[in-house]
Structure 1
Amino acid sequence: MNATGAGEAPGQGFALAWWHRRRSVALDGGLALASAVECAAQGVGFADRTGLPVGLVVVPGALAGLTLLVRRRWPLAVILVSVAVLPANMGIMLALVGLYTLATTDAPRRIIGALAGMEGVGTVIVTYLLMDQDPGLREQGVPMWFEPLVSVLFGVACVVPPVLLGMYVRARRRLVESLRDRAHGLERELALLAERAEERAEWARDEERRRIAREMHDVVAHRVSLMVVHAAAVQSVAPKDPEKAAKNAALIGDMGRQALTELRTMLGVLRAGDGRAAAAPSRLAEIAAAARLEEESGPSLTEVAVLVDESRAAGMTVDLAVEGEPRGYAEQVESTAYRVVQEALTNVHKHAAGAAAQVRLAHRDGEVAVLVQNEAPAGGGPAPDGARLPSGGNGLVGMRERVTALGGGFVSGPTDSGGFRVSAVIPDQRGRRPERADG
């Protein structure tokens, strides 16, 4: 049974056999030397009483006392040696220190109790025999119960205190170790929480970047696409019909002003975090909340007709149909449905100039469905160079992100007739927040 380093923090840069501290070496060396001197002195008295040669008793007694050097490594051996030298009335320190050391280890209690019982019974017997053979006590005529009582008390005093003290130290060490383990566990949990907080902050930053990119794309792409279409129309009709060219030019100005207004709104939200963009997650949450509030107070389904009129003014044939009774939806739902129609019409301007389009809004119980579908482009070819619009390929991605963020479904793809279709079903989120799938 090894008691090495029980409850002790190893000394830095020191190791000698089973010792990990210099003071432990000094302590065990001092105890062993004191025990050797004690056993040698007691051996002299035993030799006088028995008539044995002094050297034959003192040398083994001193060697027995030196076994305290291995008390941390083999405490059981120390106790067995103390029991072995008991008949010679040696090894009181050996027994006390050995029992204490054994009690501080993880040895089973039954083993500690058995060895303590052996040591106690041996001490009682030896003490009783010594008192019974003492001529001074015989002359005093002490009562018969005196010698057994003193022997038992002496045996208990030699066994119980070191065992109780050792068990107390063992319990205290276990408590310290459990507190240390708990502290380490809390440190690991705090580190994990800090890591997760950083991940959430990074996710929030990425989500805001994606949201702002979607907003900027929707604002710029639709307005500028219509402006380019009208500019191409102005260029083509200016020599023939100046009045129509002037009308288209006025439309371009109106759309440019609308685009600037929406851009200023978005940039105002971004400027709210100037100088603090990399601030604590709480500040980032404030900016995100402000951006969401701006988004929720954005366009609604009632403005879809305006979108359709703008596309018609740009020369597109657009059919708008509304099914069901219009009802109030959550602001995010209406804004998302509006952006889907806006981006779908913008894609028609970009990729199918001159093609007819149909816009369908279906008001259902607890959800709104949007369908934007266009026919194949006139002539089946690309738009003329003057009206051709660049595309970054982010429109469909942004629409899908918007719809799925609200728990809806989004489908897009070509039709059998050569056109393109965008369909979205958005559940009403009034009274409940959309779930975030952050893994």
Structure 2
Amino acid sequence: MTVTGEDRNDVDLTGPRFWWWERRRSVVLDAGLAAASAAECAVEGMAFATDTGLPGALGVLIGILVGSTLLVRRRWPIAVVLTSLAVTPAEMGFMLGVVGLYSLAASEVPRRITTVIAGMAFTGTLIVSLVRMRSLAGQDGSSFDPSTGYTLAMSVVLALGMTAPPLLLGLYIGARRRLMESLRERADSLERELSLLADRAEERAEWARTEERTRIAREMHDVVAHRVSLMVVHAAALQAVALKDPQKAVKNAALVGDMGRQALTELREMLGVLRSPESTTAPLTRTPAVPLAAVGAAAGAAAAAAAAADAAGNGPCLADVDALVEQSRAAGMTVELSVDGDPAPCGALVEQTAYRVVQEALTNVHKHAPGAKTWVRIAHREGTEIAMQVENAASDADAPTAGLPSGGNGLVGMRERVHTLGGVFVAGPTDAGGFRVSAVLPVKDPER
């Protein structure tokens, strides 16, 4: 379907359609033009029929039919122009030719076809004008001289006047309509892109909230699980020796109090970091497992509190591993600690992660293998990596357990911490029936 410029502007595609018309106003306009053209062609057809000896009613009927073709000018503009060319020798269809050329030029018809048909219209009008002027020049008393170029010049001017203005106006309206359509499409495309960006931003925000909840849960688990596990172990020992060895019971009670105070201190430090406004401007931590598009929007929220705590120097470090091992020994566990290599300067987040891995591994031993001998090995590899391994022997089946609950998130949290820093984490049972946790971390934080 071919639609002209005035039919495309401000089109309401959701409203009712009338055949090939998009709007009610277009129907009224074309019907009015067709009625005016039919009236004009009827008058000119009657005059032509009178001059040629044909019945006048036939000329009027032909004129009405020819003029009414303007109704289809939007869908078949070529047919309208060809009809006007066909009746040009009869000097009919002045309005039909002008409006038809305009509709053709403003439509989506290829420009080559438009040029050819416009040339035919110009030629036909020129020939009819020449013949008409020569016939007028041959009449008695006429001022026209067929031997001069005046007749040709007037015919050319008349032909141009009937073809050039509607053609140029139609070309302008068509170009303007195409420009408006292009701008409208670009605006729609921009609106779709903005909507897509808004959806992606919402997804990133949701991802950031999820990551932050996961990180807080991991921090809470690291802070609470180990201290509370030791407190439960010491409380059980306190209950066992309270009547037999009061001095040892007092010592265990003091240890339980120390564990509780340390847990409260770490909780206060973490909650203070979460409430600190500086935590929202902490450096971003880029996670290799996360798409790059989501990292820029969400990684800062996911690592904000931890990074702020490290920057303030409040987080644990590798130097605290000795005290961590001593706490486990005080709880009755046999732990051997070995450190190989020369320590190199490490990022605060790396040291905290290394400490948390050892802490969580010892907590798991307290939960699942009470009384089992445990080895803690830390190796500094040429100033580029830190390797940690916590391995316990098989637990004694007859050893009493402390009845500590397990949420199953300890290994998951360790793996997330290590992978976030670009390290390697492996955990699993040993051939001897024990369990081994191994991790390798780069010396520097990924963001440095």
Q: TM-score, normalised by structure 2?
A: 0.88
Is the 8 Å Cα contact of residues 337 and 375 (structure 2) preserved in structure 1? yes
User: Given the alignment of the two structures, is residue 180 of structure 1 paired with residue 184 of structure 2, yes or no?
Assistant: yes
Q: Does residue 370 of structure 1 match 2:388?
A: yes
Is this contact kept in 1: 2:38–2:64, CA < 8 A? yes
Q: How does 1:46-195 map to 2 (within 5 A)?
A: 46-135=48-137, 139-142=142-145, 144-195=148-199
- Match of 1:401, SS state, is helix
Change (3 A) 1:42 1:68: same
Distance 2:86 2:10 in 1: 31
Give runs of aligned pairs for residues 258-269 of structure 1, distance below 5 A: 258-269=262-273
Partner SS for 2:408: coil
Letter matched to residue 384 of structure 1: P
Q: What is the aligned partner in structure 2 of residue 317 from structure 1?
A: 334
Q: CA RMSD in A?
A: 2.4
1:15 aligned partner:
17
**Distance (Å, rounded) in 2 between the aligned partners of 1:9 and 1:154:** 36
Structure 1 residue 148, shift from structure 2 partner: 0.4
Structure 1 residues 335 and 350, CA gap change in structure 2 (3 angstroms): same
Write out aligned runs for 1:24-423 (5 A).
24-135=26-137, 139-142=142-145, 144-271=148-275, 289-295=304-310, 297=313, 298-364=315-381, 365-377=383-395, 379-381=396-398, 383-385=399-401, 387-423=402-438
Following TM superposition, by how much is the alpha carbon of 1:424 offset from its aligned partner in structure 2, in angstroms?
0.4
The residue number in structure 2 matching 1:437 is none
Separation (CA, whole Å) in 2 of partners of 1:287 and 1:110:
63
Aligned partners of 1:342 and 1:11: how far apart in 2? 67
Letter in 2 for 1:76: I
| d(CA) in 1 for partners of 2:214, 2:144 | 104
Q: Distance in 2 between matches of 1:233 and 1:191?
A: 62
Kept in 1, the 8 Å contact 2:241–2:249? The answer is: yes
Q: Which 5+ residue runs of structure 1 have no aligned equivalent?
A: 435-439
Over 3 Å counting, the alpha-carbon distance change for 1:290 and 1:414 in structure 2 is: closer
- Contact preservation (8 Å) 1:269, 1:287: no
Q: Distance in 2 between the 1:11 and 1:314 partners?
A: 79
Cα deviation, 1:104-128, whole Å, max 9, x if unaligned, reads 2211111111111111101001111
- Length-normalised TM-score, structure 1: 0.90
Q: CA deviation at 1:242?
A: 1.8
C-alpha distance in 1, partners of 2:394/2:140? 127
Q: Deviations over 1:116-153 (max 9, x none)?
A: 11111010011111111115796325571111011111
Cα distance in structure 2, aligned partners of 1:285 and 1:321: 36
1:99 Cα shift? 1.1
Specify the alignment match of 2:3 in structure 1.
Answer: 3
The Cα shift of 1:380 comes to 3.0
Q: Over residues 129-187 of structure 1, what are the superposed CA-to-partner deviations in whole Å (9 max), with x where a residue is unaligned?
A: 11111157963255711110111111112112212211221111111111111111111
Deviation, structure 1 residue 283: 11
1:126 alignment partner, SS class: helix
Q: CA contact under 8 A between 2:273 and 2:308: conserved in structure 1? A: no
Offset of residue 291 of structure 1:
4.3
- Equivalent-residue separation in structure 1 for 2:229 and 2:255 (angstroms): 12
Structure 2, unmatched stretches of 5+, are 281-295
- Find the partner of 2:447 among 429, 433, 436: 433
C-alpha distance 119-10 of structure 1, shift in aligned 2 (>3 A): same
Paired letter, 1:82? S
Q: Which residue of 1 aligns with 2:290?
A: none
Q: Distance in 1 between matches of 2:391 and 2:117?
A: 93
Write out per-residue CA displacement over residues 239-276 of structure 1, whole angstroms, 9 at most, x where no aligned residue. Answer: 23222221121111111101011112223344459xx9
Contact 2:208 2:301 in 1 (8 A): no
Aligned residues: 424
- 2:427 and 2:438 in contact (8 A); partners too: yes
Q: Could you tell me whether the CA contact under 8 Å between 2:205 and 2:297 is conserved in 1?
A: no
For 1:282-302, what per-residue CA distance to the aligned partner results, in whole angstroms no more than 9, with x for missing partners?
999568524431255311111
Change (3 A) 1:233 1:94: same
What SS is found at the alignment partner of 1:362? strand
Q: CA deviation at 1:198?
A: 0.9
Q: Which stretch of structure 1 is more off in the superposition, 135-144 or 51-60? A: 135-144
Secondary structure class of the residue paired with 1:325: coil
- Structure 1 residues 71, 330: CA separation in 2 closer, same or farther (over 3 Å shift)? same
CA contact (8 A) 1:87 1:126 kept: yes
